[in-house]
């Protein structure tokens, strides 16, 4: 994997996760009419995050299964699900946004700690 590809993957990965987090939190406050657009955007962002993450995992670690990879995949799956939940569970938005921030923090810790 070239340095250019690695840097490009990092930028795309982080940008897609920022979009995913922003629109997931937005889903808790958005009008119900915006559901389709928000779900399309979060779907594209989550797919881009998954694809770039898997390619970086393959290029840098050769698909070596580790605990941090499993934790990050579970975090990705949970964040992907929470956008749709945001439109249905508006009364518990505060708690779920705290869960979103906790999941994002856990995934970020796994990037640097790698247990």
Q: Secondary structure of 61-94 in the HEC alphabet?
A: HCCCCCHHHHHHHHHHHHHHHHHHHHHHCHHHHH
pLDDT per residue of the chain (115 residues) written in tens, 0 to 9: 899 999 999 999 999 999 999 999 999 999 989 999 999 999 999 999 999 999 999 999 999 999 999 999 999 999 999 988 988 988 999 999 999 999 999 999 999 998 8
* CA separation for the pair 110, 63 (Å, rounded): 16
Please tell me the total count of domains within the chain: 1
pLDDT at 84: 87
pLDDT at 81: 93
pLDDT at 50: 96
Q: Are 23 and 45 in contact (CB under 8 A)?
A: yes
* CA separation for the pair 7, 5 (Å, rounded): 6
CA trace torsion 74, 59, 19, 66 (10° rounding)? 20
For residue 25, give its domain range: 3-113
Helix (H) or strand (E) holding 34: none
């Amino acid at each position: 994997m070239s340095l250019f590809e690695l840097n490009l993957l990092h930028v795309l990965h982080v940008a897609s996760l920022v979009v995913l987090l922003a629109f997931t939190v937005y889903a808790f406050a958005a009008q119900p009419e915006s559901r389709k657009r928000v779900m399309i955007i979060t779907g594209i962002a989550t797919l881009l995050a998954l694809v770039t993450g898997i390619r970086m995992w393959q290029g840098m670690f050769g698909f070596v299964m580790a605990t941090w990879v499993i934790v990050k995949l579970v975090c990705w799956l949970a964040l992907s699900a929470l956008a749709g939940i945001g439109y249905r569970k508006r009364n518990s938005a505060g708690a779920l946004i705290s869960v979103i921030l906790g999941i994002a923090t856990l995934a970020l810790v796994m990037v640097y700690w790698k247990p």
